[in-house]
Amino acid sequence: MNKNNLDIEDYSPDFHTNSHSIIPAVISSLMNQLAEALSVMAEVISIEEAQQEQSDAKENDYMQNQLDYLKSEIEKLKKAN
């Protein structure tokens, strides 16, 4: 073979060998990204639930205050009669 002629096989990377090592790395990277996304989604859901619980607690306190007021008004009416 002439030195000026390049043999393509001598300079082309072995894609078959490289692709086998790249596939697990790509899959691992995708799995890590999926895990991160699921973690973020779980945190958002947790925050939303905490906000809902706070809202429910405030509403329950308001309703309890209304019930207490109505009870006291009923007691006043009973005493008046």
In tens, the pLDDT along 45-76 reads 999 999 999 999 999 999 999 999 999 999 99
3-state helix, strand, coil in the chain (%, to 5): 85, 0, 15
User: Which residues neighbour 7 within 8 Å (Cβ) at sequence distance 6 or greater?
Assistant: 1
- Band the pLDDT of 43: cuts 50, 70, 90: very high
The reported pTM is 0.55
Amino acid 41: pLDDT: 97
